[in-house]
């Protein structure tokens, strides 16, 4: 069986610290064949940089997905996508003017894993300002272009707001891919399951980030925005003493490419 470990949105330095602290023990206890992570909020809560990405590569993460904030550090983010195109994927249903690859083919001891990534459309118009094409239409062409017979598993990260869109996307891909994992909301859901045709599904994996926070950002700033309706930029509590750690472990039968087990985890760890 191919065992996959996937971390929820890694948010800023607290999230990076949490993954780096937890991963050695998880490698020993779970013995995953491949370790993946969503890094949409990796660099101080928005975007990716070469420095922060390579921090997790050194820790043992083997493949990365992004999201609506993936390019928020502009040139610094673009550099990360260009330097590690074999490891980090951008959403496949955004304009091709964005750099980076839409698929990663990750070698494991048990065969090649295909990693893909799509953005949802519902409620996302203020989250990503360029056009987002239909993920349902885009994923069909993506599968034609990227899936080959020698691959033992296909994992899709669906970065979306609406739970209904995520559920529909999971059922749309049931039997076509090994796993559909929701990200973006930073709140883990309790619906990990195997869909009828053998696809592992979870509406949202959750977040690796500061525990005493609102979705990984300073709670005082979030409260102020809600109470005063005043716009302000958010900061990550880099001095956090505890972090939420969320991840999912999936087992896939390499011969059928179907999932046979999925287990979601949420815990608070000291940093």
**Residues carrying an active site annotation:** 69
What's the length of the chain? 271
d(CA 114, CA 87): 11
Identify which of 130, 159, 150 has the alpha carbon closest to the alpha carbon of residue 64. Answer: 159
Asked if 35 contacts 2 with a C-beta cutoff of 8 angstroms, the reply is no
Q: What is the DSSP letter of 1?
A: -
Residue 12 CB contacts under 8 Å (≥ 6 apart), including other chains: 41, 42, 43, 44, 45, 209, 210, 216, 236, 238
Q: What stretch of H or E contains 136?
A: helix 135-146
Identify which of 232, 187, 191, 248 has the alpha carbon closest to the alpha carbon of residue 213. Answer: 187
CA angle 88, 91, 95 (to 5 degrees): 120
Two tokens, residue 212? 């005493």
């Amino acid at each position: 069986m191919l065992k996959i470990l996937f971390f929820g949105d890694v948010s800023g330095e607290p999230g990076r610290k949490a993954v780096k602290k937890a991963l050695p023990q998880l490698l020993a206890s779970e013995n995953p064949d491949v370790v993946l992570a969503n890094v949409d909020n990796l660099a101080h809560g928005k975007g990716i940089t070469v420095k922060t990405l390579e921090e997790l590569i050194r820790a043992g993460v083997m493949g990365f997905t992004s999201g609506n904030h993936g390019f928020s550090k502009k040139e610094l983010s673009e550099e990360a996508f260009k330097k590690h195109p074999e490891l980090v994927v951008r959403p496949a249903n955004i304009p091709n003017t964005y750099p980076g690859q839409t698929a990663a083919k990750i070698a494991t001891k048990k065969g090649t894993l295909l990693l893909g990534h799509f953005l949802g459309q519902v409620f996302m118009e203020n989250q990503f300002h360029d056009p987002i094409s239909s993920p349902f239409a885009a994923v069909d062409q993506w599968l034609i272009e990227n899936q080959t017979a020698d691959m033992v598993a296909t994992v899709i990260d669906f970065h979306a707001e609406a739970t209904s869109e995520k559920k529909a996307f999971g059922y749309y891909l049931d039997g076509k891919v090994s796993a559909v994992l929701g990200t973006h909301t930073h709140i883990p859901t309790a619906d990990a399951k195997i869909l009828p045709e053998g696809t592992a599904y979870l509406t949202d994996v959750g977040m690796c980030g500061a525990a005493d926070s609102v979705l990984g950002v300073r709670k005082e700033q979030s409260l102020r925005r809600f109470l005063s309706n005043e716009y302000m930029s958010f900061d990550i509590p880099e001095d956090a003493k505890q972090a939420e750690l969320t991840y999912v472990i999936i087992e896939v039968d390499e011969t059928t490419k179907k999932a046979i087990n999925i287990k979601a985890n949420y815990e608070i760890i000291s940093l």
